[in-house]
Structure 1
Amino acid sequence: MKDPKVIVMGAGAVGCFFGGMLARAGHDVTMIARPDHVEAIKRDGLYMDCLSFKEYVSVKATEQLNVIDQADLILFCVKSPDSGKTIELIKPYLKPDAIILSLQNGVDNCHRIRQLIDNPVYPAVVYVATAMAGPGHLKHHGRGELAIGGWEPERAHDSEIQTQLKSVSHLFEAAGVPCKVSADVRQDLWYKFLVNCCYNGISAIGQIQYGDMVAVESVRDLIDELGREVVAIARHEGIAMSDKDAKYVIDQIPKTMPTQKSSTGQDIARRKPTEIDYLNGLIVRKGKQYGIPAPANQAIYALVKMIEHYNT
């Protein structure tokens, strides 16, 4: 992928980090964002307050969707509930060969997107702790890598797909973002989903950082129970997820992202709708489908939905 035009659709914390890293490396990047972010970025640039550097990065920003017609690569970073309606809005502007990379929470976004368009769509498993500290101001708390792959198992090793994935991987790697092409991205997505189900809702309910959550023994027990329920559902979805690996992944989060408050927690703090229907809510629905009890996930889901109801 030589000199691609990159569009960040939904330039919140995740989009600003990865789009900002590409822009910092000299790539042509345009952020589509809310008016306050656009104004700040146009005026000063994107301020990236990262662990390894702090600087204003020059990047284009707009509220207009018609710039999508320039895109070779779209970093699709909107909230999971907004996937369908956003695709319908940008569909008239999409070039047929524009690649859409879904940097979203959840495990079913690519499936839902591909039902609406014929463009190549690939999931990215996102490992980064970030937040917006203000308009045009990104705060980075830890990590910052991606895993990408073909989400359809029967086509995962197709030569054209592999060529596209390697091109995207090289683009990020050259910009200082570790980006592996996964041999089984569905498994990687479910391990990330496991983490989201274990931490996001609790962080939102308590408005608490990951490191502080696990200082409470009963919360650690709840996290483990949430994890066991997710693993049981994952296996019914055909995902090879071991108890040992699941436990390791769960335990690493407060060590590698101790000061992070979940995206769900950030949404609640801003009185915005959350993605809980696509996190613990999906486990609850799948549990009913497979006849697998998921009381811990049901409790977290219900509590976040209650807060949402009175909060937004």
Structure 2
Amino acid sequence: MKVLLIGSGAVGLAIGAALYDGNIDVDIIARGNTRESIIKNGIIRRGIFKTITVPAERVRVFETPNQTGNSGYDYILVCAKTTGNPEIAAELAKCGQGLLNDQGGLILCQNGFRNEQYYFSCLDKQKIYTASFAIGFKRPEPYISEVTVFSSPITIGSLFDGDLGTLNPLIEALENGDLPAKSSTEIAKTLWAKMLYNCALNPLSAVLHVAYGGLAQSQDAVLIMNQLIEEIFAVIQAAGYSTFWPDAAVYKKAFYEKILPPTYQHRSSTLQDMERRIKTEIDSLSGVIVELGREYQVGVPYNTMIYHMIKTMESLY
């Protein structure tokens, strides 16, 4: 099996370590300090799953896909932040259709919704798959991924009736590397479940500079989160999607009682991005809610406000 892994943050390193552990042929795309650190130190995955150490001499790391000298990959895994999608799609297009073999698939391992649209120009829709993560990662060093939280396996599926059987070898390889994974015919429902969680918590915690548990302790923050959730459900229904809860009331009960408490200590990716003064992924999160609200004429004033607050804070770096 040949895998091209684009993006070497905490998620990409954890996946790469799992694949290397099973002697899979992996080419990694990384840049700057991350690339230099991996070349020097290799890759380490640690935390609540088994520790995996990949020596530096085993790791093949490049700056761009066309530098690998390889083609006919079985899988291309995009683990970079969503802000990089336009550039990544352009680089893949330069490599041509032969970069991925006829039976292969591209898997987007990212936050948000509608990320697939960037890759329509370089791949058939049926070859594009999406992964959803209910696993927490952090990166204490550029070459180290630490698994901090596990809720459920990585869920991978197709929004475009792609063949899920294509995913079986990859899922087996991830499982063998002690990274639980599964395929699902309900990936859209899973993605919307993640969108509800992320859009209710991620930007608001960044604006207020608190961990998720801090939001739950404030009646005013709870009021805001309730409005965000209700607007998202209105968009889901208007756009013809569905998720695992029939309405906002049922979801909110599950959210406050079961979903949120295990992540009270979590600091949102948007907050961490803003502390580093880099562009956030807000366009793929709240920005999608605003976009769909406009398309389907659904009012989303709370999501619109939180979206523009984050964009304003970015502009003031």
Looking at structure 1, the residues matched to 279 and 272 of structure 2 have their Cα atoms a distance apart, in angstroms, of 10
Q: CA deviation at 1:187?
A: 1.4
1:36 and 2:33 correspond = yes
Q: CA deviation at 1:128?
A: 2.0
Gaps in structure 1 of 5+ consecutive residues: none
1:114 and 2:120 correspond = yes
From 232, 236, 239, the counterpart of 1:237: 239
Are the equivalent residues in 2 in contact too, given 1:41–1:60 (CA < 8 A)? no
Looking at structure 1, the residues matched to 284 and 276 of structure 2 have their Cα atoms a distance apart, in angstroms, of 19
Looking at structure 1, the residues matched to 283 and 268 of structure 2 have their Cα atoms a distance apart, in angstroms, of 15
Partner of residue 195, structure 1: 197
Partner of residue 307, structure 1: 313
Report the 3-state secondary structure (helix = DSSP H, G, I; strand = E; otherwise coil) of the residue aligned with 1:106: coil
Report the 3-state secondary structure (helix = DSSP H, G, I; strand = E; otherwise coil) of the residue aligned with 2:138: strand
Are the equivalent residues in 1 in contact too, given 2:109–2:130 (CA < 8 A)? yes
- TM-score for both structures, normalised by structure 2: 0.86
From 262, 271, 274, the counterpart of 1:265: 271
Report the 3-state secondary structure (helix = DSSP H, G, I; strand = E; otherwise coil) of the residue aligned with 1:69: coil
- TM-score for both structures, normalised by structure 1: 0.87
Report the 3-state secondary structure (helix = DSSP H, G, I; strand = E; otherwise coil) of the residue aligned with 1:72: strand
Q: CA deviation at 1:106?
A: 1.7
Looking at structure 2, the residues matched to 202 and 44 of structure 1 have their Cα atoms a distance apart, in angstroms, of 37
Q: CA deviation at 1:297?
A: 0.7
Report the 3-state secondary structure (helix = DSSP H, G, I; strand = E; otherwise coil) of the residue aligned with 1:11: coil
Partner of residue 171, structure 2: 169
Partner of residue 107, structure 2: 101
Q: CA deviation at 1:245?
A: 5.4
Are the equivalent residues in 1 in contact too, given 2:11–2:145 (CA < 8 A)? no
Looking at structure 1, the residues matched to 129 and 65 of structure 2 have their Cα atoms a distance apart, in angstroms, of 21
- CA deviations on 1:92-145 (whole Å, 9 max, x unpaired) are 332343421001112211233124323711011122222222321223321273
Q: CA deviation at 1:55?
A: 5.2
1:61 and 2:61 correspond = yes
Looking at structure 1, the residues matched to 167 and 275 of structure 2 have their Cα atoms a distance apart, in angstroms, of 36
Gaps in structure 2 of 5+ consecutive residues: none
Aligned residues: percent identity? 28
Task: Give the letter aligned to residue 69 of structure 1.
Answer: N
Aligned residues: 302
Are the equivalent residues in 1 in contact too, given 2:17–2:44 (CA < 8 A)? no
Are the equivalent residues in 2 in contact too, given 1:96–1:118 (CA < 8 A)? no
Are the equivalent residues in 1 in contact too, given 2:214–2:264 (CA < 8 A)? yes
